[in-house]
């Protein structure tokens, strides 16, 4: 697979988001099956894997650590900090944002152990903590880099001014934010800032939490432990309206002998050479499909057609419940 650079960090042009293997979209998947998916992705050229402390909590880092143990030094593992956890009835629970230096320092030790690493390749602040100045957060990550526990600093869902303030203290390698054909807000201020500062973009949910694959319809039902059951954009009424975007992708895909998912990913790759999407999946055949997007060539005419047609489509519904949306673009 082709490589791309996030700042000075070289990774495969498409990564693998591992969250859904343990968390977010229903019950955790079988661990051995997920290890096989992750290792199968490595065999197919993926070198960039994404996890976080909060996924589980902790169980996703353990899964990724075990799966990638045979490939140390050959892959890049990114994880995220910024939440506080408490043990309740024998299980860990996320109890809110916490990027205080002592929490970050304690958290990195746990992540290193679970990921079976001597140094974390890319350490993102998962969400900006309004109670801790971003300069303080950047400063503690700078210390961790100096101590050899972290190699690169990242932010997630941060606003342009926050990125600038953090970057002035410790250079930011990558910003992880939602970006896709149905969520283009980063184009307004964030992308120009990243380009100016030489920071890479890692779009999560590049397939619209599965919707842009065309596999979700207005009849699809979600379990109560699937976060999409709480997202306004995934109500049956919204899905019916938003199908127009999938229909657009399907029409282009047919012409290109590709799938809607591959067109959605190819569109992202065509935006900037420093964009590396991390579609998530629990199935190796879907990982193979996503990897195949790197070989799909969209011409300038194709891109114009997609942009013109998609600009006429108004996506229905918010991308997050209100309490989660408040945690973004700070």
Q: What is the pLDDT of residues 10-52, one digit of tens each?
A: 999 999 999 999 999 999 999 999 999 999 999 999 999 999 9
Architecture of the 3-325 domain:
Alpha-Beta Barrel (3.20)
Residue 154 backbone phi and psi in degrees, to 5: -135, 165
> What pLDDT score was predicted for residue 170?
98
List the catalytic residues.
55
Alpha-carbon distance 165 to 145, whole Å?
18
> What pLDDT score was predicted for residue 266?
98
The CA–CA distances, whole Å, from 170 to 163, 199, 275 equal 10, 12, 21
Q: Which residues of the chain register pLDDT less than 50? A: none
Alpha-carbon distance 74 to 95, whole Å?
35
> What pLDDT score was predicted for residue 42?
98
For the whole model, what pTM was predicted? 0.98
Alpha-carbon distance 177 to 204, whole Å?
6
| Per-domain residue ranges of the chain | 3-325
> What pLDDT score was predicted for residue 6?
98
Q: Which two tokens stand for residue 77?
A: 């593992």
29 secondary structure, DSSP code: P
Angle at 153 between CA 330 and CA 16, to 5 degrees: 90
Omega of the bond leading into 57 within 30 degrees of 0 (cis): yes
The tens digit of pLDDT for each residue in 255-285 reads 999 999 999 999 999 999 999 999 999 999 9
> What pLDDT score was predicted for residue 262?
98
Greatest alpha-carbon pair distance for the chain in Å reads 57
């Amino acid at each position: 697979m082709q490589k791309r650079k996030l700042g000075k960090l070289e990774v495969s042009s498409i990564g693998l988001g591992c969250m859904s293997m343990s968390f977010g979209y229903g019950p955790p998947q079988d661990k051995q099956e997920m290890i096989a998916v992750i290792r199968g992705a490595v065999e197919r050229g993926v070198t960039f894997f994404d996890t976080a402390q909060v996924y589980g909590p902790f169980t996703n880092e353990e899964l990724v650590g075990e799966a990638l143990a045979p490939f140390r030094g050959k892959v890049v593992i990114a994880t995220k900090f910024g939440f506080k956890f408490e043990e309740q009835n024998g299980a860990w629970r996320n109890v809110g944002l916490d990027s205080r230096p002592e929490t970050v320092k304690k958290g990195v030790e746990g992540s290193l152990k679970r990921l079976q690493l001597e140094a974390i390749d890319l350490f993102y602040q998962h969400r900006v903590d309004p109670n801790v100045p971003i300069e303080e957060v950047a400063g503690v990550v700078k210390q961790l880099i100096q101590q050899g526990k972290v190699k690169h600093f990242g932010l997630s869902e941060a606003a342009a001014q926050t990125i600038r303030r953090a970057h002035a203290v410790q250079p930011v390698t990558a910003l992880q934010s939602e970006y896709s054909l149905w969520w283009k807000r980063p184009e307004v201020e964030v992308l120009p800032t990243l380009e100016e500062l030489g920071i890479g973009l890692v779009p999560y949910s590049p397939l619209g939490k599965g919707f842009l694959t065309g596999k979700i319809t207005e009849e699809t039902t979600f379990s109560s432990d699937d976060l999409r059951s709480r997202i306004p954009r995934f109500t049956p009424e919204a899905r019916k309206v938003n199908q127009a975007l999938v229909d657009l992708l399907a029409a282009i895909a047919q012409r290109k002998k590709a799938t809607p998912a591959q067109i959605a990913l190819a569109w992202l790759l065509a935006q900037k050479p420093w964009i590396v999407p991390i579609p998530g999946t629990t199935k190796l055949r879907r990982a193979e499909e996503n990897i195949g997007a790197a070989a799909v060539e969209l011409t300038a005419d194709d891109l114009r057609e997609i942009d013109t047609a998609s600009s006429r489509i108004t996506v229905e519904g918010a991308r997050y419940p209100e309490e989660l949306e408040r945690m973004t673009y700070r």
